[in-house]
Amino acid sequence: MAEPTPRLAPTAPSSQLLAAGQNDYRIDLLGLGRDALIAEMARLSLPRFRADQLWHWIYHRGVTDFNAMTTLAKPLRMALAETHQISRLAVSRRQESDDGTIKWLFRLADGNEIETVFIPEDDRGTLCISSQVGCTLNCHFCHTGTQRLVRNLTAGEIVGQLMAVFDDLNDWPSGRDDRYVTSIVMMGMGEPLYNYDNVRTALKIIMDEAGIALSRRRITLSTTGILPQMQACGDELAVNLAVSLHAVTDELRDILLPINRKYPIADVLQACREYPRATNARRITFEYVMLKDVNDSPADAEALVKLIAGIPAKVNLIPFNPWPGSVYETSSDAAIEAFARVVMRAGYASPVRKPRGRDILAACGQLKSASERLRRSQRQDQAETA
Ligand code: SAH
């Protein structure tokens, strides 16, 4: 029996809506999880295997044009193109650092902007993905925390960052063997566990074996320690966990990361002990930003290893990356080395994160939409000329 060709009546004359551009009425398939895509097919009276076919084109091949989906019958392609779309984030700006780091500023449909960073290394490449526009945490040493505008990204906007980068680098799974992007870190703008539902949908899409197929071992989610969602993340996603610790006393962590007043050190560490993947094979990463004369003494290092005793972990030391207006200084190399030695002697790997892309403000804690900076300076200009 012939498959019915879906007909969806747009809610207004299509010419009018298409002209509106961002108010494109067509339903976006980007960011629908597998179940949601199957449900959408069912709504159109299409069988489940159509969802599998679409999934392959969208997430394995990177196709956005229904007409190029040659496994679909032509009338179906045409019908879908009328009522549906597979959107892409628009590139507002692309900057490449002297060290090869690439930073994209993406413009979202509502005009907000986010940043995504690719960090190439000898044998791998890591993409740092944002989960929110701005961030509500206000960590005292972080540039993103100074950005006023905040909203959660949709699942489509999260996975869309990876897909736009695949387009840019010609790096789709169906393409070359030696791919550029070999791992992703949820370490861009925002607190991913404050947007857990959308992050979960996006990461499940990214891990799905019929599409992008990135293994959970190659995905790391970084959090300040939002307790309820930390547990859910372990149970439902079981990706690698990185925890922004940065201080060994609640007194100091309260200042550096105000969220500590809600989720203090002892509670966060308890949740780390319970994280299902905290085995030797899958260690938790503790991130520790090195702030000169604030948290970088050998005594701090001693206290740190006592705190995390018994947790299979490594400690990632991040030299502080300055930004315009920041009040902290980067620890000296000698202080970082001495700190690392103490941690290492206690049996924990203590790699020092090499600052990447500092010249284009792409390093840890430096992300902040240029759009917002621009808006502020424009406001200032206007105030001055008024
Ligand atoms: N909100 C999550 C995800 C951001 S990850 C989190 O906090 O874990 C970004 C990492 O860079 C965090 O460990 C953050 O504390 C750290 N960071 C922020 N500002 C920094 C700066 N100026 N220099 C170095 N690291 C910074």
Model pLDDT, residue 319: 95
Asked about 337 being catalytic, the answer comes back as no
Model pLDDT, residue 12: 38
Nearest CA to ligand 1 atom 10: 364
pTM above 0.85, yes or no: yes
| Nearest ligand 1 atom to alpha carbon 186 | 3
Domain chopping of the chain, boundaries = 14-85, 90-375
DSSP letter at 30 equals T
Nearest CA to ligand 1 atom 5: 187
Q: Is 223 in the pocket of ligand 1 (CB under 6 A)?
A: yes
**pLDDT band at 56, cuts 50/70/90?**
very high
pLDDT at 106 over 50: yes
Query: Per the residue annotation, which of 40, 113, 115, 191 is the catalytic one?
Result: 115
Model pLDDT, residue 105: 95
Higher pLDDT, residue 324 or 212: 212
Model pLDDT, residue 89: 97
| Nearest ligand 1 atom to alpha carbon 135 | 1
Average pLDDT, the chain: 89
Percent of the chain with pLDDT over 90: 78
Domain 90-375, second-level architecture: Alpha-Beta Barrel (3.20)
Model pLDDT, residue 278: 57
pLDDT tens digits, one per residue of 59-85: 999 999 999 999 999 999 999 999 999
Model pLDDT, residue 178: 87
Mutate to test the pocket of ligand 1, among 119, 141, 146, 186 (most ligand atoms within 8 A of CB): 141
Q: Is 318 in the pocket of ligand 1 (CB under 6 A)?
A: yes
Q: How far is the CA of 26 from the centre of ligand 1 (A)?
A: 37
Q: How far is the CA of 189 from the centre of ligand 1 (A)?
A: 9
pLDDT at 11 over 70: no
Model pLDDT, residue 382: 40
Model pLDDT, residue 145: 81
pLDDT at 142 over 60: yes
Long-range contacts of 327-334 (CB under 8 A, 24+ apart): 327/140, 328/140, 328/141, 328/291, 328/292, 328/294, 329/291, 329/292, 329/293, 330/290, 330/291, 330/292, 331/290, 331/291, 331/292, 331/296, 332/292
The least confident of 241-255, 323-337, 357-371 is 357-371
The domain 14-85 having CATH identifier 1.10.150.530: the answer here is yes
Burial class (CB in 10 A: 0-12, 13-18, 19+), 84: middle
Q: Is 144 in the pocket of ligand 1 (CB under 6 A)?
A: no
Model pLDDT, residue 338: 98
Mutate to test the pocket of ligand 1, among 117, 132, 142, 224 (most ligand atoms within 8 A of CB): 142
Average pLDDT over residues 202-231: 96
Answer whether 104's CB lies under 8 Å from 91's CB.
yes
Q: What is the largest CA-CA distance in the chain?
A: 75
**pLDDT band at 2, cuts 50/70/90?**
low
Model pLDDT, residue 385: 39
Percent of the chain with pLDDT over 70: 88
**pLDDT band at 384, cuts 50/70/90?**
very low
Average pLDDT over residues 14-40: 76
- Residue 66 has phi, psi (to 5 degrees) of -55, -30
| Nearest ligand 1 atom to alpha carbon 319 | 24
Q: Is 320 in the pocket of ligand 1 (CB under 6 A)?
A: yes
Asked about 364 being catalytic, the answer comes back as yes
Strand locations in 144-201 (E): 151-152, 183-186
Nearest CA to ligand 1 atom 14: 365
Mutate to test the pocket of ligand 1, among 318, 329, 336 (most ligand atoms within 8 A of CB): 318
Q: How far is the CA of 318 from the centre of ligand 1 (A)?
A: 9
The CA distance from 47 to 3, in Å, is: 9
Q: How far is the CA of 142 from the centre of ligand 1 (A)?
A: 6
Query: Per the residue annotation, which of 128, 139, 233, 364 is the catalytic one?
Result: 364
pLDDT tens digits, one per residue of 246-296: 999 999 999 999 999 999 999 999 999 999 865 556 799 999 999 999 999
Model pLDDT, residue 23: 64
Model pLDDT, residue 195: 98
